[in-house]
Amino acid sequence: MMYRIVKKEVLAENIYLFDVKAPMVAKSAKPGQFVIVRIDEKGERIPLTICDYDNNKGIVTIVVQAIGASTMKLSRLNVGEKLCDFAGPLGKPSEFIHMTVEELKNKKYLFVAGGVGAAPVYPQVKYLNELGIKSDVIVGARNKELVIFENEFKELGCNLYICTDDGSYGIKGRVTDVINSLVNQGEKYDEVVAIGPMVMMKFVSMLTKKLGIKTTVSLNSIMVDGTGMCGACRVTVGGETKFTCVDGPEFDGHLVDFDVAMKRQNMFRDEEVRRLHHSEGCSCF
């Protein structure tokens, strides 16, 4: 079975949104889960967090940041072209999926999205919104051009705070500055959900630990195989070894050893650079 691309949209530089016809995945998908994509029979497995899903239309939405050889190749595909594999949904769904509406109505969530992290945050905010629960959302980016999903969050009616490192849009500063500001203004949160660059999640977790706010992070960015077989996504959580793809991808941010996780994330960077240059016909490596 092949999976047809029915929509492609450029969200920002090197960031693309794809709607893929995958009825079985759409039927079972839940916020927090991911899919494994293979472009063709010789392609590597690409773990991508599910950004949205429509069971009625059989559509699953993914967002791809073109930073490596495979994601660059994926980003060049167009509407009408097909993917060899689109396996999922995989991973454990977000914790609040298992809570009742009454339990959720007694909680206030703050979602913190850094860069492309806005994509996996969106289905979580949307899920709660469909239950009549409004959330606060912080979206952080380096500059205005890299802010994504602003309109989508606004359509959900959430309290949206945008910040940029250079001050070109929204609040000038980092997401931690906005968290501090909201708490100092008297906002009380039962849980923070932070998804984005590893270093961002680390500092958000450090801050929320001081503030005494439960925090969940998603470590999807270090997944490779997506099934627990390769062991590349091993992380230390509360002193125990966990596999991001089968035990997560979401974990208690106050228990994650981010330094170890960031070292693991960088393990394959040099190899990925070599593969990217090779795919582009560069012989300098």
> What pTM does this model have?
0.87
Residue-level pLDDT, tens digit, the chain, 285 residues: 789 999 999 999 899 999 999 999 999 999 999 999 999 888 788 888 899 999 999 999 999 998 888 889 999 999 999 999 998 898 889 999 999 999 999 999 999 999 999 999 999 999 999 999 999 999 999 999 999 999 999 999 999 999 999 999 999 999 999 999 999 999 999 999 999 998 999 999 999 999 999 999 998 776 665 555 566 667 778 888 887 767 668 888 999 888 877 776 666 555 555 544 444 443 332
Angstrom distance (rounded) from CA 103 to CA 92: 20
- CATH 3.40.50.80 domain position(s) in the chain: 95-215
The CATH number of 95-215, from 3.40.50.80, 3.40.50.720, 3.40.50.10860, 2.40.40.20, is 3.40.50.80
- CATH 2.40.30.10 domain position(s) in the chain: 3-90
3-state SS assignment for residue 110: strand
Block residue for tokens 């949104």: 17
Q: Which of 6, 108, 110, 12 is nearest to 54 (CA)?
A: 6
Cβ 259 vs Cβ 52: under 8 Å: no
Token digits of residue 285: 């490596």
| CB neighbour burial string for 36-56, b if at least 16 within 10 angstroms, e if fewer | bbbbeeebebbbbbbbbbeee
Architecture of the domain delimited by 3-90: Beta Barrel (2.40)
